[in-house]
Amino acid sequence: MPEAPELEVVKDFLNERAVGCKITEAAILKPSVVRSISADLVEDIKGRSLERVSRRGKFLFLDLSGDRVIVINPMLTGGLQYAEPKDRVYKRTCVIFNLSNGRELRYVDDRQMGKVYYISRDDIDKIPRLDEQGPDVLDDDSFEDFQLRLRSFPGEIKGVLTRGRVIAGIGNAYADEILFEARIYPFKKRRALSTDELRRLFESSRHVIEEATEVVRERMGDNIHLKLRDFLKVHNRGGEPCPRCGNNISQVTANKRITSYCRKCQPGMLLRN
């Protein structure tokens, strides 16, 4: 799943490389991912220029001239590809936007669970789940406000983090990284966390995402559709040595989602050492 680091880099890349271009044409290859809410995407988009790209949590906003917006919620497997027309069109390509600089911006999505909304600025609150997002993980936030928002969520802390209501932009992979850095057992209940632990969680969330964003930025280049995860410390590294203590990293799968953590650095309640 693309999370804040990847989407942040994609946002900056498009602001640098694609903003100012006109969209000369669009083609929908997989209609199930497209929601033309305010007007028909293919008909209405022609000739509009891309004015700005922004991000909130795991949503990307591509502002177009005339108060139209393309809103992308990539969900599990969606992403954008900055392609040359001659580049092979993957089977997972769902929408193609032709840009006036000769490039193509393609929305790709293996499982087609993501959505591409075409909407006028005034209608943006009609987008499902957008209003459920908390402040973005890279926004300014205070520990006090963070604690206040957490109050409504007493359950397992990893689930609380990935839900996006307390902080937006964190998914399954980076939740593991943040909890590792904060030395918190992923299945610990939020209500059982001490103030110290909460403070570490608050600080690690921002720090881990900022660091990862810089790594991704350095390595992604034009390949904005790639998901770089090989530099992560614990996520999906079950059985490998913990980079902090050398103990084997544990990995469990629940509801098809992997959770990786170090039992020594992130002790659960039953483990005393």
Which active-site residues does the annotation give? 2-3, 58, 257
- Whether 220 contacts 9, CB under 8 Å: yes
Size of the site for Zn ion (CB under 5 A): 7
Which residue, among 212, 240, 241, 245, has the nearest Cα to 228 in the 3D structure?
Answer: 212
Least distance in Å: CB of 41 to Zn ion? 48
Query: What ranges make up the beta strands (E) of the chain?
Result: 23-28, 34-36, 50-56, 59-64, 68-73, 78-83, 93-99, 104-109, 115-120, 249-254, 257-262
- Grouping H, G, I as helix, E, B as strand and the rest as coil, residue 145 is helix
- Considering only residues 141 through 160, tell me which ones interact with Zn ion, judged by CB under 5 A: none
Least distance in Å: CB of 267 to Zn ion? 10
Q: Which of 64, 127, 193, 265 binds Zn ion (CB under 5 A)?
A: 265
Least distance in Å: CB of 263 to Zn ion? 8
Tell me: does residue 271 bind Zn ion (CB under 5 A).
no
Q: Contact region for Zn ion (CB under 5 A) — 140-148, 151-159, 169-177, 263-271?
A: 263-271
- Whether 40 contacts 105, CB under 8 Å: no
Q: Is the CB of 75 or the CB of 179 nearer to Zn ion? A: 179
Tell me: does residue 262 bind Zn ion (CB under 5 A).
yes
- Considering only residues 222 through 261, tell me which ones interact with Zn ion, judged by CB under 5 A: 242, 244-245, 247
Q: Contact region for Zn ion (CB under 5 A) — 37-45, 67-75, 124-132, 262-270?
A: 262-270
- Whether 6 contacts 216, CB under 8 Å: yes
What is the DSSP track for 26-58?
EEES-GGGEEE-SS-HHHHSTTPBEEEEEEETT
Q: Is the CB of 26 or the CB of 265 nearer to Zn ion? A: 265
Tell me: does residue 263 bind Zn ion (CB under 5 A).
no
Chain positions contacting Zn ion, by CB under 5 A: 242, 244-245, 247, 262, 264-265
